[in-house]
Structure 1
């Protein structure tokens, strides 16, 4: 699960008109090894096209492609895995669809959800929002105490998400999480390649 250390989640709006594939490839060139395709406003055909193109790019750089929510699209493009939230298809049903060899990520905000995710076959858990985030306005924050409880009681990799920047990530370093999921901290940067390099170094 080393590839999850810096986990880039897509959001085209943050690019403000810049080329989507160029931006993602810049992050891959800098060494990022996991891309999650999450485009909430896309229709199925547009999302599928993005997924096919990202599958080509991620293979070129030996990186993982995780598809958010859309199990059907993940299966069509032979993605490496799927990430689902608490309101999406139940994780155990997703596991049944994708089989034992694909990666399953599940979002959790508390110990109950985290334990259920593990029981349902999750390979990693996305915990957050750790800080205020502009990319998911309905995201409830998770306290450091809740993060610690999850870390103490659930023995699969934990990825922190939600408003994480190079400036505030130090507040989470002591928890020894498996990785950090970032969106605007990288895609909002003027130079995505250089910002991705800083993240890989950090």
Structure 2
């Protein structure tokens, strides 16, 4: 079977909850990143890189690595995949984690509890104790989307007293909110140096 070529997200509707994690640390001008798609109900991996205003959907299984540039910073992105069989190995990539980016479907009220459980479990990991949290409240272009405030409360974000976090309104299909979120993340990471 021939592998499908990458396509832009505008040709693809994101119907399921996406959870992305970034393992980042600054070394001079290089930001090293590990990207993990947590759930295996979606057979594709989403890359939030390149111009950031676009998403590439890749039919990739397993582990992938690529280097991209954002705002003159180079990111080495390790995409670890979300298959259940791969998940036990994710902990190998938590060390030195500076940031977690969590992408949540704002329209999926039925799964917000699962999203909260997964987030809480990840943030309880000792190696993620100091990680900055960025939440992408995705699908904000949809009428039925929860507000970022609703999502923050549903995810329990206000209870995170010892963690720097921010939630951003985003739309994968329109590319909105991504630049603001990435700007905040980059500036926050730089200020910790």
Fold shared, TM-score > 0.5 on shorter chain: no
**Structure with greater helix share of residues:** 1
Provide the TM-score with structure 1 as the length reference: 0.37
Higher strand share goes to which structure? 2
